[in-house]
């Protein structure tokens, strides 16, 4: 068994654009990034999240492009139906903006590539919906969503296997 195999705990994450930590101020993202660099976990970004994160500043772009990106290739009937189900969960009236369509793809990519989605989108008093606010419904589809803090806690507690 290689050193890599001994370190890796087989947890794979996809981070949303709102978790790009270009200034290093996000405490729990700092920990996840350290574990990623040390080969303990793997972090990826869905292409729409990477594109969103790359806008705004060179530091954010540089940080976003450090991660391998995944593409939304939905070709099977199951994948096409899953995209529609995610849209119904996140946007009852349907996605009307590019950012909303991006959210659907970001959630889909987490499922398609077997990752836990790490985001800070929704689930608060001022934004009760969003991705976090609908995570129970998304889990029913087999899509696990956590905050960066929850991801760190799960790793520290040794909960390496996905719940779904």
- pLDDT tens digits, residue range 8-38? 688 999 999 999 999 999 999 999 999 999 9
Is the pTM here over 0.85, yes or no?
A: yes
Torsion of CA 60, 16, 113, 94, to 10 degrees: -130
CATH topology of domain 3-156: Rossmann fold (3.40.50)
How do the domains of the chain map onto residue ranges? 3-156
The DSSP bridge partners found for residue 45 are 69
pLDDT in tens, 92-101: 999 999 999 9
Which residues are CB-neighbours of 23 under 8 A, at least 6 positions away?
59
């Amino acid at each position: 068994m290689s050193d890599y195999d001994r370190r890796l705990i087989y947890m794979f994450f996809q981070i949303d654009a709102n978790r790009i930590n270009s200034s290093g101020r996000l405490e729990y993202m700092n920990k996840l990034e350290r574990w990623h660099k040390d080969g303990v976990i793997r972090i990826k970004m869905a292409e729409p999240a990477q594109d969103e994160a790359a806008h705004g500043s060179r530091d954010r772009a540089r940080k976003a492009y450090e991660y391998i990106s995944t593409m939304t290739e939905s070709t099977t009937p199951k994948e096409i139906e899953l995209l529609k189900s995610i849209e119904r969960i996140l946007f009852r009236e349907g996605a009307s903006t590019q950012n909303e369509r991006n959210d659907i793809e970001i959630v889909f990519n987490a499922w398609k590539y077997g990752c836990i989605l790490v985001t800070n989108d929704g689930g608060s008093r001022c934004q009760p919906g969003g991705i976090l606010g609908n995570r129970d419904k998304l889990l029913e589809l087999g899509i696990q969503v956590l905050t960066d803090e929850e991801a760190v806690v799960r790793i520290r507690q040794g909960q390496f296997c996905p719940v779904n």
